[in-house]
A and B are shown apart, each in its own frame.
Chain A
Amino acid sequence: QVQLKESGPGLVQPSQTLSLTCTVSGFSLTSYNVHWVRQPPGKGLEWMGRMRYNGDTSYNSALKSRLSISRDTSKNQVFLKMNSLQTDDTGTYYCTRDLLDWGQGVMVTVSS
């Protein structure tokens, strides 16, 4: 059974760095792509970037200067790091396998 679960701090201070982990099971990171998507409260969805099955990454150009996606295949984990957080980065962050299977999401609030 395919599962993805996001984890990370619920509260981040402005200007700090967000670090999230997506832990997967039921599939191999070397066979499928994992995307990160976020959603501000009450608003729409934004594609952030992707870790490809072969280790390549691609990013939304609007976030590229702040965003990094990496992985540890031995731990079945994909990581998101985004720096210089501001209040409009508040929202629910999802990881998804090929935009088909989704994690439950993790709520991140940027506030002092």
Chain B
Amino acid sequence: DIQMTQSPSFLSASVGDRVTINCKASQNINKYLNWYQQKLGEAPKLLIYNTNNLQTGIPSRFSGSGSGTDYTLTISSLQPEDVATYFCLQHSSRPLTFGSGTKLEIK
């Protein structure tokens, strides 16, 4: 199974800050990497698919990058409504595997 190591597990930042969250795969996942946002009590919401494709309706302050084993989600200017837990997901090979999550809070 491909292991996804996500960091940091917790992040506190101020409104307007640039925030980055990382996922490292245990092997090459060929950019088959999605990012999800999950707010308390809600289902996950797709933000970015296949590394750097912004899902329809998602604000442009969210972006993704990476290749091989290393991937990054960037929020260019943190907003109060971005408080949530963020997960990465590799869908390169089965079983699909998620990162352990990053809980993002506002300072």
Contact surface of A with B, Cβ cutoff 8 Å? 35, 37, 44-47, 58, 60-62, 94, 96, 99-100, 102-105
Contacts and interface: CB of A to CB of B under 8 A. Distances in A.
Nearest to A49: B95
Interface string B34-60: 100000001111100100000100000
B96 to A, nearest CB: 4
Interface residue tally on B, bucketed by range = 20 to 34
Contact of B100 (A37, A44, A96, A104): A44
Contacts, number: 42
A64 to B, nearest CB: 9
Interface stretch (B18-26, B67-75, B86-94): B86-94
A45 B46 contact: no
30 contacts: A37-B44, A44-B87, A44-B98, A44-B101, A45-B44, A45-B89, A45-B98, A46-B98, A47-B89, A47-B95, A47-B97, A47-B98, A60-B94, A60-B95, A61-B1, A61-B95, A62-B95, A94-B43, A94-B44, A96-B43, A99-B46, A99-B89, A99-B91, A99-B96, A100-B46, A102-B43, A102-B44, A102-B45, A104-B42, A104-B43
B89 to A, nearest CB: 7
Nearest to B87: A45
